[in-house]
Amino acid sequence: MAFGGAPCACSKAFFMPSDNRAPTAPAIVGYRALLRNREFAGLYAAFTLSAAASTVSGFALGTLVDRRTHSPFLTAVSMYGATFATVLGALTLMSVADGRRPRRILVVLQCLELAGVAAQALPGLPLAARFVLLLVLGFFQSLGTGTRMGLLAEVVPTAGYAPARSLLNITSGGMAVLGYALGALLLRYLSPQGVFVVAAVLTAAGPAVVATTVREHSIRLTRRPGLRQTWTTNAALFSRSGRRALLVNLWVPNGLIVGCEALFISYDTAHAGTLLAAGSAGMLLGDLMVGRLFTADRRRRHAYPLRLLLAAPYLLFAFHPPVPAAAAAVFLASVGFAATLPLQEQLLALTPDAVRGQVQGVESAGRMTWQGIGAAIAGGIAQHVAAGTTIGVLAATSLAVTVVSRPFLAGVPAPAPRLSEG
Nearest to 398 by CA among 256, 188, 198, 228: 256
Whole-angstrom distance, CA of residue 159 vs CA of residue 230: 28
Whole-angstrom distance, CA of residue 365 vs CA of residue 43: 19
- In this prediction, residue 22 carries a pLDDT of 37
- In this prediction, residue 83 carries a pLDDT of 67
Q: Is 36 helix (H, G, I), strand (E, B) or coil?
A: coil
Whole-angstrom distance, CA of residue 80 vs CA of residue 61: 10
What spatial distance separates the first Cα and last Cα of the chain, rounded to whole Å?
30
Q: What are phi and psi of 338, to 5 degrees?
A: -65, -10
**Is 60 exceeded by the pLDDT of residue 401?**
yes
CB 165 within 8 A of CB 299: no
- In this prediction, residue 135 carries a pLDDT of 83
Q: What is the per-residue pLDDT across 255-267, written as a single tens digit (0 to 9) for each?
A: 999 999 989 988 9
- In this prediction, residue 353 carries a pLDDT of 65
Q: What are phi and psi of 327, to 5 degrees?
A: -65, -40
Per-residue pLDDT band at 89 (split at 50, 70, 90): confident
Per-residue pLDDT band at 354 (split at 50, 70, 90): low
- In this prediction, residue 118 carries a pLDDT of 92
Q: What are phi and psi of 66, to 5 degrees?
A: -65, -40
* Alpha helix stretches (DSSP H) within 214-339: 227-237, 241-262, 264-267, 272-288, 296-311, 323-335
Q: Which of 51-65, 220-234, 313-327 has the lowest mean pLDDT?
A: 220-234
Whole-angstrom distance, CA of residue 214 vs CA of residue 42: 6
Residue of 232 and 114 predicted with greater confidence:
114
Neighbouring CB atoms inside 10 A of 160's CB total 26
Q: What average pLDDT does range 45-72 have in this prediction? A: 86
Q: Which of 172-186, 253-267, 344-358 has the highest mean pLDDT?
A: 253-267
CATH topology of domain 30-409: Growth Hormone; Chain: A; (1.20.1250)
Q: What is the per-residue pLDDT across 194-210, written as a single tens digit (0 to 9) for each?
A: 989 999 999 999 999 99
**Is 60 exceeded by the pLDDT of residue 18?**
no
The residues with which 3 forms a beta bridge, in sequence order, are 6
| Percent of the chain residues past pLDDT 70, beyond the cut | 83
